[in-house]
Homo-oligomer: A and B are copies of this chain.
Amino acid sequence: MEQVRLGIIGIGGMGTNHALSIVKGTVPEMQLTAVADIREIRRSWAKDNLPGSVAIFDDGRKLIESGTCDAVLIATPHYFHPDFVIYALEHGIHAITEKPAGVYTKKIKEMNEAASKSDKVFAIMLNQRTNCVYRKLHEMIESGELGELKRVNWIITDWYRTQAYYDAAGWKATWDGEGGGVLLNQSPHQLDLLQWLCGMPVKVRAFCHEGKWHDIEVEDDVTAYLEYANGATGVFVTSTGDAPGTNRLEITFDRGKVICEHDKLLLYKLSESEREFSRTCPDGFKKPEMTVSEVETDGKNEQHTGVLKAFADRILHGGKLVAEGTEGIRGLTLSNAMHLSSWLDRTIEIPFDEDTFLEELNKRRATSKKKTDKGIVFDTTGTY
């Protein structure tokens, strides 16, 4: 196999952008051989805009069964991600799913179970992990040089969306179609990075505001407080209603502090352990000595292309994925916990009761309002 023959299931906003990118040759080891969409308007678009060699299906399962693809990229509404992954893997097809892994962790466990039984590659589009700033920070934390985690604060409010964004697609921002708002659609990247960098918290207390900035039924504004097993605490704030928003990650460790903002990584490095200093310094107001520097990175930030290149490389040569598909459950566990905390108005311990979550979600799905799908696809370049 010289090239991976890729099928894309779901050519809405993200799927369309992936299709056009692959057709342009951005992923040399991958060719687009098929697309599937249940909407006639999108299949018609595909016929008009994609090479004639690309097979078009009205059902993702038909695409998987067709023999036209070695691998599928799943870019459907979130609820369908796990089912298509399972279907693909069970049919001997490699699978990469868009984020989030799905809508509720109980279902993700079924998907991960299927993956564990399959010898096919399973990846997830956690493209922000390709960002040199987060990669470098991950490396620094793993090395142990910063010491133990004390505090994390991520203000990730630069996911601005207008009302038109929500009005464009029928499934978006509904409990039944999408299963959530900013936590499911925009912030999964940061929720994944948060757990990738800081590990999983043991407690979550969140305040999700539904339809606060937009005429939608799901949350578009979230503030969450986190507690980690070692006592460290965190704050995660996200919204699609802030202009201009902020993307500022600050993490404090025993031996220093890092700030990621404006694509830069600032390091405040202490000369010694703060814990040790506090216990031994005879002066009440003194602080440990510190140096401040901007950390150099390799500057590479391939985003979606990087994830797809690695996916092809794994299939063809056994290389390393940007993110294993089975890791998607972690960010979703955070978002499920945040939703549940807000719904039940109390602190949620992780692991939480997945049946309670599903019950609460289903209550909301039952009264979810149908929206008209206008089939509008915005150019999402640079919006991830």
Q: Which residues from chain A sit less than 8 Å from chain B, CB to CB?
A: 150-151, 153, 155, 157, 160-166, 168, 205, 207, 209, 212-214, 221, 223, 225, 227, 231, 233, 235, 237, 239, 241-244, 246, 250, 252, 256-257, 268, 270, 274-275, 277-279, 281-288, 290, 345, 347, 376, 378-380, 383
Contacts and interface: CB of A to CB of B under 8 A. Distances in A.
Contacts of A166: 284
A378 B283 contact: yes
Contacts of A268: 244
A372 to B, nearest CB: 15
Nearest to A158: B287
Contacts of A161: 284-285
Given A223-B235, A225-B207, A283-B162, A242 B278 contact: no
Contacts of A150: 241-242
B235 A284 contact: no
Contacts of A244: 256-257, 268, 270, 287, 290
A192 B290 CA distance: 30
B378 A252 contact: no
Nearest first, the 3 A-B pairs at minimum CB distance are: A165-B284, A162-B281, A243-B274
A133 to B, nearest CB: 18
8 contacts: A151-B239, A163-B281, A165-B284, A205-B207, A205-B225, A212-B231, A244-B256, A244-B287
A224 to B, nearest CB: 9
Given A221-B233, A378-B283, A252 B163 contact: no
Given A205-B207, A243-B274, A278-B241, A160 B287 contact: yes
Contacts of A235: 223, 235, 237
Contacts of A250: 155, 246
A233 B209 contact: yes
B162 A277 contact: yes
A160 to B, nearest CB: 5
Contacts of A213: 275, 278
Contact of A284 (B162, B241, B279): B162
A7 B287 CA distance: 33
A257 B246 contact: yes
